[in-house]
Structure 1
Amino acid sequence: MSVARTTNGVLDVPIIDLAPYLDGTDPDGVAAAVDRAARTVGFMQVVGHGIPAETLAAFTAATDAFFATDPAAKAAYRCPPGVNRGYTPPKGESLANSLGLTSAADLFEAFNVGTEAASFADLDLSEAGYGTNVWPAVPGFREAVEAWFAEAGRVARAMTRVFGRALGLGDEGLTSFTDHSIDVLRMINYRLPAADVELEADQVGMGAHTDYGIVTVLWADAVPGLEILDDEGAWQPVQPAPGALLVNLGDALARWTNDRWISTMHRVAAPRVDGVLVPRRSAAFFHDGNVDAVIAPLPTCVDADHPALYEAVTVGEHLAAKLAASRGGTLATNATREASRLGGPLTL
């Protein structure tokens, strides 16, 4: 099982400039750097992405305004567990369940929006596989969130083209899996109790998990919390460099590459500075692939020395099982290889 590797106990999450790919000056150099990161750590810090600072400022202001509203008002936007849209209250999910593990409920609250079936008017898609957005009555929220969604989606699609080049498939080598992709933007607020509160045993901001789809584009505060599991079984802290987006691979891409690339185990510890609980925000854009795309090891990643490690499953089936676990309270049964990085079935 592939896992993030350290050198002398240090985990290197490389900074990769995307601009030479976007402007065509050195696409192969960017692809080579991405391939190295994908093989060794599964995370990278991307600069040169071109997202305007004012788009981020408007987006964070809008999300802050929503999360500052009354809990009862936010609860009005809660959706059923099988619908990956709307509001999730604190302790409303346990991400470790998506690995078939049990843990205390996670501390975060979140709000999700994403592509709808109507986003692809020329295709006969079921809304059940995509979800219908709900929009809170917060002035300017929808406009700011849609602007960030568009920019983060642009970066995710660019990264998917880089992945195709890095895998020797050509820039469009993975796009047949993504032309009606299920994309979700999750805005996350670590809405913690009082700074001196006693947490439950092993309670974290967000439990250990791997992401589910192709690629995640993450903006995060420069606040401690995010941690990556390394090859020594230790949790390594990661904070983004100024102006960088954290990009990591998901299970679908790891499975397509037959574990040549890493879908990295990560979590968010209860964020602390000098031992005191502090607020933390992030926003994760998940580019998960077409609902009907089949996830199975690519022929170029399978040979006599590297037999296929995964059974075929569609993106829709894969996501439904993961969400039923993390949001619905069941334990996933399709994540044996991912969970093995934590020592197999266990209680966190």
Structure 2
Amino acid sequence: MTDIAELDTVPSVSLTQADRDPQGFSQDIGRSFERFGFAVVADHGIPADLIAKAEAMSKALFALPTETKRHYLIPGSGGARGYTAFGIETAKGNDKPDLKEFWHVGRDLPAGHKFSDEMAPNVWPDEVPGFRETYQELFAAFDKAGLRILEAIARYLGLAPDYFVDTVKDGNSVLRLLHYPPIGPDAPGIRAGAHEDINTITLLLGAEEGGLELLDKSGRWIPVKIQPGELVVNIGDMLERLTNKVLPSTSHRVMNPPPERRGLPRYSMPFFLHFRPDFLIETLPETMGEDRPNLFPTPITAHGFLQERLEEIKLI
């Protein structure tokens, strides 16, 4: 069996293994996360027909006239819900904005919920029939798959398997519909500059189209290659902080395509799974020791951390 430390590509693991051998699955996916900050997950349980329907609706949404899409832009919201126009989001430390536009779907909360101040209501485009129902269903499917992966992470860290259930209950998770338009020869940057994700874990559909790369510990950029229908999952900054960098939040980017594919758009659907807003991110004792001191001695709430990072990437 090949030592994962020697691999230079992210291996694929099947979520069906979690049913028959939960400890073995946790070790396989945990080692991948510890090595790369990334894992590739097959057989994730999100229905293929639902994914296809959502992809078609995403294309229909972004094909709408710009003035129609801008009707759903909410000033001062940090892009938390609805539409964010092309050329707004800028990776931390970059001076050129990403070459993308996107739409955010968040968690629906009942009236009077305690997190209503931190989590805005969704907005839904009237121009795409069935949009609301489709993405509510997809959001729930992502939530379910994310919990199964978090269970494996808990086992890997020596925690109770259900450790993360309460931490993400009613969490501020976001489903992002992403559109990278065709690239011209004089593109002023790349589709998505090098960055780390803010949240707990990210589950990404639509990475079959090339361009996604991660920064390996050796300093090399490595393409993330998957088979059709597989999920790409990566560790976010919140979980890196909670685990004292045992599980790293790895820098990644989306490069422009080769010349023969620059006339084609790119679509993807990342699900940013978040802790609940009032969850205190405080270093797990299981991740500290004589050879690993506490790198994050000051706790911070998930909401406070999110606000700090949204300011850094110029969304608020």
**Shorter-normalised TM range:** over 0.9
Instruction: Give the match's secondary structure for 1:160.
Output: helix
Matched, 1:316 2:303: yes
> CA deviation digits over 1:273-297, x for unaligned, max 9?
5473531110011111010111121
Partner residue in 2 for 1:198: 186
The whole-number CA distance in structure 2 between the counterparts of 1:67 and 1:159 is 31
Matched, 1:160 2:150: yes
Aligned amino acid, residue 137 of structure 2: A
Query: Which of 28, 31, 35 is the matching residue for 1:36?
Result: 31
Query: Which of 122, 141, 148 is the matching residue for 1:133?
Result: 122
Query: Which of 95, 98, 120 is the matching residue for 1:106?
Result: 98
Contact 1:271 1:280 survives alignment (8 Å)? no
Compared CA separation, residues 6 and 265, structure 1 to 2 (3 A): farther
Identity among equivalent pairs (%): 33
Give the paired residue count.
Answer: 310
Partner residue in 1 for 2:22: 27
The whole-number CA distance in structure 1 between the counterparts of 2:315 and 2:20 is 47
The whole-number CA distance in structure 1 between the counterparts of 2:38 and 2:59 is 27
Contact 1:225 1:272 survives alignment (8 Å)? no
Aligned ranges for residues 251-330 of structure 1 at < 5 Å? 251-272=237-258, 274=260, 276-310=262-296, 311-328=298-315
Matched, 1:184 2:171: no
The whole-number CA distance in structure 2 between the counterparts of 1:235 and 1:245 is 20
The whole-number CA distance in structure 1 between the counterparts of 2:11 and 2:85 is 34
Aligned ranges for residues 213-224 of structure 1 at < 5 Å? 213-224=199-210
- TM-score normalised by the chain length of structure 2: 0.92
Partner residue in 2 for 1:86: 82
> CA deviation digits over 1:181-235, x for unaligned, max 9?
111000100023xx543022xx111111111111111001522211111123222
Q: Please state how far the C-alpha of 1:116 moved relative to its aligned partner.
A: 4.0
> CA deviation digits over 1:164-195, x for unaligned, max 9?
11111121122231122111000100023xx5
Instruction: Give the match's secondary structure for 1:216.
Output: strand
> Highest relative contact order (Cα 8 Å, sep 6+), 1 or 2?
1
Partner residue in 1 for 2:230: 244
Contact 1:108 1:190 survives alignment (8 Å)? yes
Partner residue in 2 for 1:332: none
Q: Please state how far the C-alpha of 1:148 moved relative to its aligned partner.
A: 1.3
Give the gaps of 5 or more residues in structure 2.
none
Aligned amino acid, residue 179 of structure 1: K
The whole-number CA distance in structure 1 between the counterparts of 2:250 and 2:120 is 27
The whole-number CA distance in structure 2 between the counterparts of 1:85 and 1:129 is 12
Give the gaps of 5 or more residues in structure 1.
330-348
Contact 1:257 1:298 survives alignment (8 Å)? yes
- TM-score normalised by the chain length of structure 1: 0.84
The whole-number CA distance in structure 2 between the counterparts of 1:136 and 1:196 is 29
The whole-number CA distance in structure 2 between the counterparts of 1:243 and 1:276 is 23
The whole-number CA distance in structure 2 between the counterparts of 1:157 and 1:135 is 26
RMSD: 1.9
> CA deviation digits over 1:99-141, x for unaligned, max 9?
xx1321111110001114438x6x522x331122110111121
The structure 1 segments of at least 4 consecutive aligned residues displaced by more than 6 Å after TM superposition are none
